[in-house]
Structure 1
Amino acid sequence: MQKTTFDGLKQIVACVNECLRRLQRHVADIEKRLNLLIDETHRRVVGAEKSHVLETLLETAHPQDASKPIPFFEGKLDNFCMEHNEGMFENAMTISDSSNSKLLRASYYASLTIARNSKPHPITETTVIPIIVNAVREVLGEDAAFQIATILPSNNTTKRRIENKSSDIQFQLKTALNSSLYFSLQFDESVDVSGAAQLLCYVKYIGGAEIEEKILFCFAVHGNTTGECLFEVMMEKTRYFNLDRDKCVAICTDGAAAMTGKKVGFVKRILDIAPNAKWSHCMIHRYALAVKPLPDELTFVMEDCVSIVNHIKTSSLKTRLFEELCTKLGADCVQLLYHTQVTWLSRGNP
């Protein structure tokens, strides 16, 4: 009887000790979270104070810029980051294998995945962090989950990581262009579905093993789209790359008047500063112009196709029935596309 009572007391003491250990871990976890909360509150308070100091400094030291809009300062910040963050991403990914270094690289890889999938960076706190923390908690325990939660990047950190990678890509392209013997530029100015004018520029250059083609910039043009306006946009967006104009050997555009004007056209302004360049008419635009006039025997076929597409697309019910019909027939495509003059997906003018 006494032995049974003693064994029961031992079990009770063991349970009490286990409860105490769990309570200690829980208290330690609460203390860590409170410290993080205090640090975050302190950071926000200090940030608000710094914001007030910066506003006062702007009004006193730079009164001429105090009334300028936010995009003006964002442009200044972008130029500053591109000039001072060159190689930052490469340095972050090649540092030592210490614990902090691994966490930093993990942060960059997480933001890289978000950027590659074209997801908004706030998805980090709303989706990515909860998924990782819950998975780690189930597999490795509460302590590992808490450690992961403290090192995963926040929304602002993810935004900075993506900006650093963007600056690093531009820096790599700048280095490649400066080391290339020659390069060529291809421009296209068009209007998207929202009515905004876009100036798109591709660059071809001699890479390490072959000729490479990269997008140089894509910029929404505000106001007029004359040759002079497009030239000013091009000069502004290519200033960072410090292109050697003597290395430019070819320019490719469409045949629009703003591009090919003899006196103030976009091509004329570029040829004035790049004497070795030769202009060529874009083959895709030339092809589009060549196939516009259809033979009489094909015109009625195209008109019938356009009429059929318009008849289906004018009603949401007809569109759904057409999609259901295509699905039952096992068709690869179940949607009809309207005509677009930008990418020439189809013909006609619905």
Structure 2
Amino acid sequence: MVKVCDVVCPDKKQAFLNVSLSRNTIADRVCDLATDLQGQLIEKGKDFIAYFLAVDESADTTDTAQLAVFIRGVDSSLCVTEELLGIKSMHGTTTGKDIFEEVSKCVNDMKLPWDKLTGLTTDGAPAMCGEKSGLVGRMREKMQRENCTCELTVYHCIIHQESLCGKTLRMEHVMSTVTQTVNFIRARALNHCQFQSFLEEIQSELGDVPYHTEVRWLSREKVLNRFFELREEICQFMESKGKDSTVIRDEKWLHELAFLCDITKHLTALNLQLQGRNRVITDMYDAVKAFQAKLRLWEIQMQQGNLCHFPCCQTITSQASNAAFPNAHFADKLSTLRAEFTRRFADFEAQKFNLELFSNPFAVDAEKAPANIQMELIELQCNSILKAKYDTVGPAQFIPETMPQLRLQAARMLCMFGSTYLCEQL
């Protein structure tokens, strides 16, 4: 490093020489940084008027359960702070009681007031969402003991819900064939090398098929699309290796593959919309509602034989074949998927009024609002200056300090976690 400094910035050489690279010194500095960050979060936490937690538990490479807890807090200025609250290694059991004790310790260590906690988003595991012995039930009991007036809002991660909805299509027979074929090609280096050489020999525009990983939701779309594009080449290669390709050449199976490719692409697009940091829950809810509306449209169009939003299905139907494309069958699949979305996102539907109150307070009926915000809401709706400001800056920045109840309501919406995405990025 010092030699590089002689060339790049010789005037800073002494500063580099003063840096201690002792492992003990570095370890102490890491601890100092962690302590400083914790102190900063404690200071910020004193100003929170509402905060929300996201909790996710998963096992690491040593099969040790790691509990990740994130916090999103909002202060009186409606400024949002999103930080890691803690990571706890759980070497024993991971029951609801164990998880609650670790989460409770994180909250207490940061000196966060329990009466400011507005909700919790989990990965949906039984130990998390159990109403009696699970984390959710124990959190509610704790808030009752602390005499908290705010009701705990609980969400199952939107991204998990969306992924589970896709499983209702019951097309495992298609995915299993794709996975087995891809694994045969990719699992052994010789087969993989020969397949790549085969594609080069026939001058294929596409170079390879990627692996499919079940826990990585977005890999499914890539695998399916590449498999569909290379379906003929894959058949030829499998036959050259003495493998039966009857299923892959079956027209009915190809129809199923084409539909699965298209619907998976749509689900992946929604999945990507729901990911990311600092996502406001109303935006995530809007994305889900838009997808449900799309499903209704696709169902009608599928019944009519209109495949304009299903390009792989169009490709299959454009090729000469003996089997008719099963429009009614796939319309039923879309109907089932739409029903599952409605069922799984019922808890968000229950919060519909609060979500609309935050996203567009000028359109809600003041009579349906809680009594503590009705007067402020009427004043807000009748203020033309605030209406013009709302159109410019959006819901989080225009509510004046003279309306504390509406600001508190906005803070509770801003701090909500719609998913455990941040936990899973660790």
- Pairing 1:1-350 to 2, within 5 Å after superposition: 131=1, 133-137=2-6, 147-148=14-15, 150-155=17-22, 156-206=24-74, 210-274=79-143, 275=148, 276=150, 277-295=152-170, 298-319=171-192, 335-340=210-215, 343-346=216-219
CA-atom RMSD in angstroms: 3.4
Report the secondary structure of 2:56's partner residue: strand
CA-CA distance at 1:186 after TM superposition: 1.2
Report the secondary structure of 1:291's partner residue: helix
CA-CA distance at 1:267 after TM superposition: 0.9
The one-letter code of the counterpart of 1:152 is: V
**Alpha-carbon distance between aligned partners in 2 of 1:183 and 1:320, rounded to the nearest angstrom:** 53
Where in structure 2 are there 5+ consecutive unaligned residues?
222-426
What TM-score, normalized by structure 2, do the two folds share?
0.43
Where in structure 1 are there 5+ consecutive unaligned residues?
1-130
The one-letter code of the counterpart of 1:311 is: F
The one-letter code of the counterpart of 1:201 is: V
Larger RCO (alpha carbons 8 Å, 6+ apart): 2
Report the secondary structure of 1:216's partner residue: strand
Report the secondary structure of 1:152's partner residue: coil
Report the secondary structure of 1:199's partner residue: strand
What do residues 59-110 of structure 1 show as CA deviations (whole Å, max 9, x unaligned)? xxxxxxxxxxxxxxxxxxxxxxxxxxxxxxxxxxxxxxxxxxxxxxxxxxxx
Contact 2:66 2:89 in 1 (8 A): yes
Q: Which has the larger radius of gyration?
A: 1
CA-CA distance at 1:323 after TM superposition: 7.3
Contact 1:185 1:203 in 2 (8 A): yes
**Alpha-carbon distance between aligned partners in 2 of 1:338 and 1:269, rounded to the nearest angstrom:** 35
**Alpha-carbon distance between aligned partners in 1 of 2:46 and 2:54, rounded to the nearest angstrom:** 18
CA-CA distance at 1:161 after TM superposition: 2.3
Contact 1:183 1:205 in 2 (8 A): yes
CA-CA distance at 1:332 after TM superposition: 9.9
The one-letter code of the counterpart of 1:268 is: G
The one-letter code of the counterpart of 2:131 is: K
What TM-score, normalized by structure 1, do the two folds share?
0.51
**Alpha-carbon distance between aligned partners in 2 of 1:138 and 1:231, rounded to the nearest angstrom:** 55
| Gap change, CA 1:309 and 1:339, over 3 Å in 2 | farther
Q: Percent identity?
A: 29
